[in-house]
Structure 1
């Protein structure tokens, strides 16, 4: 169950008592506030709070004294200019705070983005729930033969069934021992901060994650990419939908220039110019390594 009854009651209470405000409001994000978007089998992402909107980005860029000093079309053009030329500071004026429930191994990838404020559920003080990420059968893949950190074809038949059985059995057994170690019935009980070390990396944790829009875009550019690991990519894709509602003009520019765009090396750009001029270019004549050429061809087709 992604949300506990207590969490759902807290959400319902917060949404039932709206308050008037003078600060910038994004109608799209207001509709998202507190609602939990399910991710994976037990996870979710929900917006706790946010600051700023598209107009706030433009206001910071112009250092103006008020909102609405320019037409919406001018604001959108400015935002696209800022994104196109890699200006970051105006986007840093917007912030969002998310509540995320995710498997520990996904959290270890996520925390590598060190440009956010994080507070994680503490297993030193609290007892973790018996909730583990168990992949769907079509998400069980073999090791990629071309990418040391990627997946290949999906497992099938008896092998897939055996892997799923092991994942479920090992997770359940580890949690049984965790409960037995911390129990104080007929024994002292091991400290929670020690007992947690026996839990597997697919158990769920939770945290509050607060980040500005510039660094959020950087996170999404990497983690919403088709090459990102599936389990973190689905969280990034859920956040993309939230950001689209929050700052539609900024997200549109991000989608165009970052998610849908590409960056070429000097060698790659030179090869494109040669191709446009009608020259046949191969990996051997490109000056690129095989890996570089494969990635280049993935961009230009």
Structure 2
């Protein structure tokens, strides 16, 4: 993980000068403020600011009750009800602002979640650092034979070494050419906004990402899932740990009703009912495609 000296100085300054506030704070989140959580080889996630806690969700749901009930159990029960029945608005009352350092190809997946406010480091004005994501050997994998979007088994031995050497060499060569093209030392050179197009997608970028809790949980449901690409999943896993400390009741409900739950089609429900009654059901009698049947079997057999 690489923080610049300026970023480290900013963190030290912020943590050494706490401010009193009249607003509600989450004790679990306070310990995460400004700390950088390492992700991948050079990346990180750090909390810059946040608003709200579990009580804020309940307050929004009840509106006229002020802070809510005095019973923690009642508050958690309400949060579970809201999560179970897909009531999203109360969760939007909590927000978080993150500073994230991540490879460009991960950022391009991440930005598909269009419900956040984003401000990214600009390579039009600044020169990007010489930092690239190079996968660990165990994360060098072949193309999946059954999923065009996924990985198969890990490459091993000489093949893994060959691929890693290509990634390292191409990254270094691209950055060398990037530097050579940029105007410096009296040379006219190429504009930064044009020179950046020669950089590979594994170079690191940074951004501030601000999002409400409802949309953050949607992001985590997709990106912390076992089927998500490893490189974005590790960022989602790091954020999950933060959210679990920030809004523990909401996160427990999220684990139960989103992460630990499954969604079945009407056909799947019908097949399950037939199986419970003792009927033998296979793909031919299920009415499902081969892929749907495989997913259904994974649900009930795991």
- TM bracket (short chain): over 0.9
State how 1:110-129 maps to structure 2 within 5 Å.
110-129=110-129
Q: Which residue of the partner structure matches residue 279 of structure 2?
A: 279
- Tell me by how many angstroms 1:70 deviates: 3.5
Q: Which residue of the partner structure matches residue 204 of structure 2?
A: 204
1:24 and 2:21 matched: no
Supply the distance in 2 between the matched residues of 1:9 and 1:157 (Cα, whole angstroms).
43
Q: Which residue of the partner structure matches residue 193 of structure 1?
A: 193
Cα deviation 1:243-269 (Å, max 9, x = unaligned): 000000000000011001011100011
Query: Please, what TM-score do these two structures have when normalized by structure 1?
Result: 0.99
3-state SS of 1:101 partner: strand
277-286 or 231-240: which moved more?
Answer: 277-286
Matched-pair contact (CA < 8 Å) for 2:69–2:75 = no
3-state SS of 1:169 partner: helix
Q: Which residue of the partner structure matches residue 300 of structure 1?
A: 300
Matched-pair contact (CA < 8 Å) for 2:62–2:68 = no
- Tell me by how many angstroms 1:185 deviates: 2.5
- Tell me by how many angstroms 1:234 deviates: 0.2
Matched-pair contact (CA < 8 Å) for 2:183–2:191 = no
3-state SS of 1:32 partner: coil
Supply the distance in 1 between the matched residues of 2:235 and 2:46 (Cα, whole angstroms).
11
Q: Which residue of the partner structure matches residue 233 of structure 2?
A: 233
Q: Which residue of the partner structure matches residue 94 of structure 1?
A: 94
- Tell me by how many angstroms 1:46 deviates: 0.4
- Tell me by how many angstroms 1:221 deviates: 0.3
Cα deviation 1:137-194 (Å, max 9, x = unaligned): 0100000000000000001111110100010010000000111111422520211000
1:243 and 2:243 matched: yes
State how 1:32-51 maps to structure 2 within 5 Å.
32-51=32-51
Cα deviation 1:43-76 (Å, max 9, x = unaligned): 0000000000000000000003522533100000
Q: Which residue of the partner structure matches residue 142 of structure 1?
A: 142
Supply the distance in 2 between the matched residues of 1:196 and 1:4 (Cα, whole angstroms).
21
Supply the distance in 2 between the matched residues of 1:242 and 1:176 (Cα, whole angstroms).
38
Supply the distance in 2 between the matched residues of 1:185 and 1:79 (Cα, whole angstroms).
60
- Tell me by how many angstroms 1:289 deviates: 0.4
Q: Which residue of the partner structure matches residue 216 of structure 1?
A: 216
Q: Which residue of the partner structure matches residue 159 of structure 2?
A: 159
Q: Which runs of 5+ in 1 are unaligned?
A: none
3-state SS of 1:131 partner: coil
Q: Number of matched residues?
A: 301
Q: Which residue of the partner structure matches residue 3 of structure 1?
A: 3
Supply the distance in 2 between the matched residues of 1:26 and 1:107 (Cα, whole angstroms).
28
Supply the distance in 1 between the matched residues of 2:237 and 2:22 (Cα, whole angstroms).
31
Query: Which runs of 4 or more aligned residues in structure 1 lie more than 6 Å from their structure 2 counterparts after TM superposition?
Result: none
3-state SS of 1:217 partner: helix
3-state SS of 1:37 partner: strand
Supply the distance in 2 between the matched residues of 1:71 and 1:203 (Cα, whole angstroms).
49
Query: Please, what TM-score do these two structures have when normalized by structure 2?
Result: 0.98
Superposition RMSD in Å: 0.9
